[in-house]
């Protein structure tokens, strides 16, 4: 029997500890908070979108960084497997739109209860309010870790295997503030540059503030720098006091790091179902029917009411001009504007608002089947601490479940 030390009781840590114990090892799970899974608790707006039930090709397509690294972990423990495990632990699940999987109760706390059941049943020694401060490595092999408990007492715990599941840098108030990344760096392991992802954008333009709270459905969003299109997607977005947010914007943010310069623009197509000529005919019809009205009063049926003053302003057409006095060229430019409302990205919002960290322990340093460091024997990494990230839809938690399971699993070489 080996002694396994799991650092961090989030998604990856809970499953790694469970799997190690279920495979017969003695397991200590060290969590700095007073409870497990503080981040899991707030996932999916408190409902926990625990995984995605799509077929695995689609799951891979939703991994933004290092999808190939995930092949082995996904084939060892996939979305069906985690669903079975959670249900067997007493938490029934349901599949919603877009194959998103949630607990039937709509309470993330039930996912946490299911994992607590699994941990207790398998006699995992859970130590709350235990912050791991350092790792001890001798002759390129893990030997022990240093811990500070809630009363400030420091101690050293030895072990045969250590699994680092400390998460990334996003939402640091939940406990994940990058400790695992620091441990890796201090041991000479490569950590790739970390950036917030699945995060809103600040825009140069200030007009989004005037329509804050307005959500646009069924629009197409394109993000591009001078050289190429970085992202294109269809769906929903939201204006805020600082710029833009909502599902489309969050997805776009995961591709922001691919930019070749900081001159990156967003373009909103407000009528993606209509090509430019069809839309132009629609605008002509609107103008014909309102020929004697002022421009600002003639376009009500084209947009949500909050957006009308913005569109009038962006068009450069005098709001009080009679529609029958608007030139063909101005009308055409207005049609083009509807298909391509521009916004310049000023910056991404910070880690405190990011759903995921892009970057982390380089997967080149990690064995993809076992999650063991290729340089330090007995040291494993799982979850968001790794340089793997995905889009929204349950895929990030699936990465944590699959890598945590792979790290916890007893491999023949460890017998
Ligand atoms: C608001 C929000 C909503 C989200 N919604 C979803 C969703 O619905 N579906 C989805 O798939 N993904 C979602 N995610 C992403 C998902 O939560 C993460 O991908 C996932 O939690 C990562 O799991 P992890 O175990 O690697 O890290 P975490 O869950 O962050 O767990 C890390 C744990 O390690 C502990 N820890 C850190 N350092 C130490 C230390 N030195 N000593 C001891 N303990 C330590 C922390 O306290 C924490 O408990 C969401 C994220 C956020 C922020």
With a Cβ cut-off of 6 Å, ligand 1 is lined by 7-13, 30-33, 38-40, 42-44, 48-49, 131-132, 165-167, 170-171, 174-176, 179, 355-356, 383-385, 394-397, 400
241 Cα–ligand 1 center, Å = 27
Strands 3-7, 161-164: pairing is parallel
pLDDT at 411: 77
Residues 346-351 have a mean pLDDT of 97
Q: Which two tokens stand for residue 253?
A: 């943010």
385 Cα–ligand 1 center, Å = 9
> Residue of the nearest CA to atom 9 in ligand 1?
394
DSSP 361: B
pLDDT in tens, 269-288: 999 999 999 999 999 999 99
Write down the mean pLDDT value for the chain: 96
> Residue of the nearest CA to atom 8 in ligand 1?
44
188 Cα–ligand 1 center, Å = 24
pLDDT in tens, 96-132: 999 999 999 999 999 999 999 999 999 999 999 999 9
pLDDT at 295: 95
10 Cα–ligand 1 center, Å = 5
> Residue of the nearest CA to atom 5 in ligand 1?
43
23 pLDDT higher than 70: yes
| Owner of token pair 């041991």 | 187
- The answer to whether 47 and 103 are in contact (CB under 8 A) is yes
pLDDT category, 333, cuts 50, 70, 90? very high
Residues 57-83 have a mean pLDDT of 97
Report helix angle 79-88 to 108-121, nearest 10.
80
pLDDT at 258: 93
Residues 80-87 have a mean pLDDT of 98
Residues 377-391 have a mean pLDDT of 98
Position in ligand 1 atom list of the atom nearest CA 131 = 42
320 CB-contact burial (10 Å; exposed 0-12 / middle 13-18 / buried 19+): exposed
Pocket test for ligand 1, best of 175, 245, 358 (most atoms within 8 A of CB): 175
pLDDT at 1: 85
Percent of the chain with pLDDT over 70: 99
263 Cα–ligand 1 center, Å = 32
Q: Which of 85, 135, 141 has its CA nearest to residue 115?
A: 85
Pocket test for ligand 1, best of 8, 83, 165 (most atoms within 8 A of CB): 8
- The answer to whether 27 and 157 are in contact (CB under 8 A) is no
Pocket test for ligand 1, best of 31, 43, 407 (most atoms within 8 A of CB): 43
> Residue of the nearest CA to atom 30 in ligand 1?
167
> Residue of the nearest CA to atom 31 in ligand 1?
10
312 pLDDT higher than 90: yes
pLDDT in tens, 173-191: 999 999 999 999 999 999 9
24 pLDDT higher than 70: yes
261 Cα–ligand 1 center, Å = 31
11 Cα–ligand 1 center, Å = 6
Q: Which two tokens stand for residue 322?
A: 């009679």
pLDDT at 412: 66
296 Cα–ligand 1 center, Å = 48
Q: List domains and CATH numbers for the chain.
A: 3-194+356-414 (3.50.50.60), 200-349 (1.10.8.50)
167 Cα–ligand 1 center, Å = 5
43 Cα–ligand 1 center, Å = 9
Pocket test for ligand 1, best of 31, 95, 176 (most atoms within 8 A of CB): 176
pLDDT at 171: 96
> Any residues with CB less than 8 A from the CB of 154 and at least 6 apart, and which?
133, 146, 147, 148
DSSP readout, 266-306? EEEES-TTS-HHHHHHHHHHHHHHTTTSBHHHH-TTTS-GG
67 Cα–ligand 1 center, Å = 19
pLDDT at 414: 53
Q: Which of 387, 414, 409, 412 has its CA nearest to residue 64?
A: 387
pLDDT at 226: 92
Percent of the chain with pLDDT over 90: 97
46 in the Ramachandran plot: left (φ > 0), alpha (ψ -120 to 50) or beta?
Answer: left
> Residue of the nearest CA to atom 46 in ligand 1?
175
Does residue 411 or residue 103 have the better pLDDT?
A: 103
Q: 288-295 — which CB contacts under 8 Å span 24+ positions? A: 290/323, 291/322, 291/323, 291/324, 292/322, 292/323, 292/324, 293/322, 293/323, 294/319, 294/320, 294/321, 294/322, 294/323, 295/319, 295/320, 295/321, 295/322, 295/323, 295/326
Q: Which two tokens stand for residue 165?
A: 């599941």
């Amino acid at each position: 029997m080996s002694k396994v030390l799991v650092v961090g009781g989030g998604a990856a840590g809970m499953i790694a500890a469970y799997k190690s114990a279920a495979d017969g090892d003695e397991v200590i799970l060290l969590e700095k908070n007073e409870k497990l899974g503080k981040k899991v608790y707030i996932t999916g707006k408190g409902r926990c979108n625990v995984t995605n039930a799509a077929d695995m090709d689609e799951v891979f397509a939703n991994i933004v960084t290092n999808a190939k690294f995930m092949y082995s972990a996904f084939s060892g423990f996939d979305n069906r497997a985690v669903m079975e495990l959670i249900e067997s632990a007493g938490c029934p699940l349901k599949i919603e739109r877009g194959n998103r999987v949630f607990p039937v109760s709509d309470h993330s706390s039930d996912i946490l209860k299911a994992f607590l059941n699994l941990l207790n049943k398998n006699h995992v020694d859970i130590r709350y309010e235990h912050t791991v401060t350092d790792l001890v490595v001798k002759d390129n092999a893990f030997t022990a870790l240093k811990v500070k408990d809630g009363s400030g007492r420091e101690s050293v715990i030895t072990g045969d295997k250590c699994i680092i599941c400390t998460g990334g840098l996003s939402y640091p108030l939940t406990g994940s503030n990058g400790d695992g990344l620091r441990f890796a760096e201090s041991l000479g392991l490569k950590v790739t540059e970390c950036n917030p992802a699945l995060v809103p954008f600040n825009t140069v333009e200030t007009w989004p503030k005037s329509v804050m709270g307005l959500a646009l459905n069924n629009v197409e969003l394109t993000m591009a720098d001078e050289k190429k299109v970085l992202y294109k997607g269809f769906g929903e977005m939201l204006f805020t006091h600082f710029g833009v947010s909502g599902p489309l914007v969050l997805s776009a943010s995961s591709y922001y790091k691919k930019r070749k310069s900081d001159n990156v623009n967003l373009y909103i197509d407000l009528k993606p179902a209509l090509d430019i000529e069809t839309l132009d005919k629609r605008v002509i019809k609107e103008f014909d029917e309102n020929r004697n009205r002022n421009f600002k009063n003639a376009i009500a049926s084209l947009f949500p009411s909050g957006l009308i003053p913005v569109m009038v302003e962006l068009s450069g057409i005098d709001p009080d001009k009679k529609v029958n006095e608007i030139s063909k060229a101005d009308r055409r430019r207005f049609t083009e504007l509807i298909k391509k409302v521009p916004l310049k990205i000023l910056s991404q919002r910070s880690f405190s608002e990011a759903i995921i960290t892009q970057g982390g322990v380089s997967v080149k340093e990690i064995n993809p089947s076992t999650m063991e460091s290729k340089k330090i024997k007995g040291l494993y990494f799982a979850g968001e601490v790794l340089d793997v990230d995905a889009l929204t839809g349950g895929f990030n938690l699936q990465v944590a479940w699959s890598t945590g399971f792979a790290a916890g699993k007893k491999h023949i070489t460890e017998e």
